[in-house]
Amino acid sequence: MIRLSLITSCYKGLRYLPDFFEQVQAQTIFPQLEIVLVHNDPTPEELAVVAAFERQHPEHIRHLKVTPVEPLGASWNRGWHAAQGEYVAMWNVDDCRPADGLERQLACLDANSDCVMSYGDFVEVPQYGLTAGAFHETPAYDPRRFSRAFPQGGAFLVWRKTLADQIGYFDEQMLIGPDFEYAVRVAVNGLPMCRASGTIGYFTNAELGLSTRDGSIKAAIERTVIQQRYAIYDKIRPQYLDAAAQFRPDEIQVAGEWLPLVEVFPNVESYRRKRSYLKLFGWLRHILRTTFTKLGLLDLIYRLQERYLKREI
C-alpha cells in the first residue's frame, strides 16, 4: 500500500540522482512510498540511472518525462495530480533527509488528524551530503505568525493529498517560491500544521540551486507579490512593485488556467481590510530604511528588523 508520494522535479540532476535513489531506499517507510519523478528534458545518462532503479523497484516509481522544461510549480502540480499516496511530500534531489525523517512527519500527521501539513527543524549545509551546518529551529505552529513569514521554507513539507480540495494547488506563476506561497496560503486559511520532532532534512545551499543561484532579485519580486496577496503590507519594498506588476496577485495559475484567489481563500477581502493599517507601518519602515542607508546605518536597521521578526505575529 502506498501511503506517501514523493514529488521530485528534476532538471540537470545527474550529479544527485544516484545518491537520491539510495537515500529514498534507506527511508524506514520505503515499502510504503512511491517516487513521482517529474523529469524535465532528461539526458540519456539520467534516463539510465532512473531505468536501473525502475528495474529493481518498479512499484516504487512513476517516471513522468516533460519536454520542454516547465516551471517548478507546474512540475510539482503534475506530480501531485499523479500521486497515489494519502500523503504528499516534496524532495529536491540536491537535498538530504535522515532515514527516519519522513516516518516522523507521517507520525506527526497521524497523531494530529486535524493538521493538513507537517514541517520541522532542518540544517542548512554548504555542500551536498554534509550534515553539519546552520541549524534552523522552527517554532510551534501559530497561524498568525506563519501567515506573515514561513520560518522553514518549503523544502521538507509533507501534506495530505486532499489539501488540494480545500485550497487548490501550487501557483505556477511563482518560479522560485511556489512552496512559500502555498505555506502562507495554508496559514491565512487557518488550517492547522504540526511540527515533527527532530531534524527532518539537510538543505543544500551551495548557490547552485534554483532558489540560491542568481535568484535573490527574482525571489524578492515573488515575495512582493505574496505580500500584496496576503496583506503583509508592512514588508513590501517599493523598489520591487513595478516588476511585481507583471504577476496576478488576485489569481492562481494551475495547468495554464487562471482561478480567482477567492476560490482558494474565500475571506481574502475581509482579511485585507482588517490589515490595511499595515500600509502605514510599511511606509514608515521604508522611510527608516532609506534614511538609515543614507546615514550608513543600514546594518543596524537590519539587526532591528531581525529582532522584530523573531517575535512578530
Q: Specify the pLDDT at position 276.
A: 93
Q: Over 90: is that where the pLDDT of 66 sits?
A: yes
For residue 280, what pLDDT band results from cuts at 50, 70 and 90? confident
Q: Specify the pLDDT at position 215.
A: 63
In a domain, 187, yes or no: yes
Q: Specify the pLDDT at position 213.
A: 44
Q: Over 70: is that where the pLDDT of 208 sits?
A: no
In a domain, 26, yes or no: yes
The 10 Å Cβ neighbour count of residue 267 is: 12
- Same domain for 186 and 300, yes or no, is no
Q: Specify the pLDDT at position 281.
A: 78
Estimate the share of the chain in helix, then strand, then coil, as percent rounded to the nearest 5. 45, 20, 35
Q: Over 60: is that where the pLDDT of 211 sits?
A: no
For residue 297, what pLDDT band results from cuts at 50, 70 and 90? low
Counting the structural domains of the chain, the total is 2
Q: What is the DSSP-derived secondary structure letter of residue 238?
A: G
Domain range for 170: 4-204
| Mean of pLDDT values over 252-275 | 96
pLDDT, greater one: 261 or 280:
261
- Same domain for 26 and 121, yes or no, is yes
The 10 Å Cβ neighbour count of residue 220 is: 15
Which three cell numbers, joined as nine digits, stand for 218? 527574482
Q: Over 60: is that where the pLDDT of 309 sits?
A: no
In a domain, 271, yes or no: no
| Mean of pLDDT values over 221-234 | 95
Determine how β-strand 257-260 pairs with β-strand 251-254.
antiparallel
For residue 300, what pLDDT band results from cuts at 50, 70 and 90? low
In a domain, 95, yes or no: yes
Candidate ranges 44-58, 170-184, 201-215, 291-305; pick with highest mean pLDDT:
44-58
Q: Any idea what the CATH number is for the domain that residue 143 is in?
A: 3.90.550.10
Question: Whole-prediction pTM value?
Answer: 0.87
In a domain, 101, yes or no: yes
Q: What is the DSSP-derived secondary structure letter of residue 96?
A: B
In DSSP terms, 121 is beta-bridged to: 199
Instruction: Name the amino acid, one letter, at 256.
Output: G
Instruction: Name the amino acid, one letter, at 229.
Output: R
Q: Domain end: 204, 234, 269, which one?
A: 204
pLDDT, greater one: 158 or 294:
158
- Same domain for 188 and 289, yes or no, is no
Q: Domain end: 149, 183, 204, which one?
A: 204
In a domain, 196, yes or no: yes
CA distance 111 to 150: 23
Candidate ranges 42-51, 133-142, 298-307; pick with highest mean pLDDT:
42-51
In a domain, 286, yes or no: yes
DSSP string, 8-32: EEESS-TTTHHHHHHHHHHSTTGGG
Q: Specify the pLDDT at position 203.
A: 93
